[in-house]
Amino acid sequence: MKNKNKKTVMSPAPSSVQKRKLIPKKTITSIEKNPEKLESEEVVKPSLSCVRRLPSYLQLLRALQADGHEYVSGTVLASVHHLAPVIVRKDLAFTGVTGTPRIGFQVTELIAAIERFLGWDNQNKAVLVGVGNLGSALLGYHGFENFGLQIVACFDNDPMKIDTWIRGCKVHSLDQLPRFIRRSHIVLGVLTVPAEAAQKTAERMVESGLLGIWNFTSVKLAVPANVVTQKEDLAEGLAVLSHRMQHVSKTLAIQQ
């Protein structure tokens, strides 16, 4: 994958676009090294870590906004989250906002920029499949509405649950899913079924037309390339916690 014929890169040097770069570009050095990459994919993409950090900025910004703050510096955002200020500056650059030296960023503008960047500016509707313990907890937790997500319907296979109401949401039969998705133009599904049923259920969700699955099961799903899945695995966090605790107790034991 080298030297795919490029179209005349020797055209007028890009010096005219020098006013205010909203999105960071690669360094000139790397452009020289890979001149065939001067086209659209040239834009630097945010790291996964950056995307993961943005919601925490958002949360703090909303609190600041509620407190009546008009501006906030990257330095402040950084210290609250125990991050280096330069990390915050780089992360925020991806959202397209520009700050003012000595002043910082306009809170309202920054909130809007992060929301837009993450696609949380319009409320995204979602269905939830699998109304067990975790499923009903998520139904009852309306905090996701701060993150652009609104669960509007839920589905289950269990005849005992179908047509009952859970946390203000009527449980539908899983058989109803395709029709419901098609009518409602919903693209996102939350999967909270038991592990055994995970892959099968995911397939039905994909067939119904969903394009994203937020996967709370312990199963790594196999889905077509145009479908995005995100696995939420609490065991990961627990592993980190356990490991750190072991480490701390060892360190303390050594120090004694």
Q: Which of residues 40-79 bind a second copy (CB under 8 A)?
A: 40, 46, 48, 51-52, 54-56, 58-59
Cα dist. 104→36, 43, 46, 84 in Å?
A: 37, 25, 21, 16
Residues 26, 76, 144, 173: which binds a second copy (CB under 8 A)?
144
Q: Which stretch binds a second copy (CB under 8 A): 10-18, 22-30, 150-158, 211-219?
A: 211-219
Q: Which of residues 64-123 bind DNA (CB under 7 A)?
A: 73-75, 83-87, 89-90, 92-93, 97-105
Residues with Cβ within 8 Å of 230's Cβ and at least 6 positions away in sequence, in order, are: 212, 213, 214, 215
CB atoms within 10 A of CB 84: 10
With respect to DNA, which residue has the nearer C-beta, 97 or 134?
Answer: 97
Return the residue matching tokens 């699955």. Answer: 213
Are residues 79 and 94 in contact, defined by beta-carbon separation less than 8 angstroms? no
What is the nearest approach in angstroms of DNA to the Cβ of residue 164?
44
With respect to DNA, which residue has the nearer C-beta, 68 or 101?
Answer: 101
Q: Which of DNA, a second copy, none lies near 240, with the C-beta cut-off 5 to 8 A by kind?
A: a second copy
Nearest to 143 by CA among 109, 165, 120: 120
With respect to a second copy, which residue has the nearer C-beta, 101 or 143?
Answer: 143
What is the nearest approach in angstroms of DNA to the Cβ of residue 166?
39
Residues with Cβ within 8 Å of 147's Cβ and at least 6 positions away in sequence, in order, are: 55, 118, 120
Which residues of this chain interact with DNA, rule CB under 7 A? 20-21, 24-25, 27-29, 47-50, 73-75, 83-87, 89-90, 92-93, 97-105
Binding residues (CB under 8 A) for a second copy: these are 40, 46, 48, 51-52, 54-56, 58-59, 80-82, 117-120, 124, 133-134, 136-138, 140-141, 143-144, 146-149, 167, 187-188, 211-212, 214, 218, 220, 226, 228, 230-246, 248-249, 252, 254
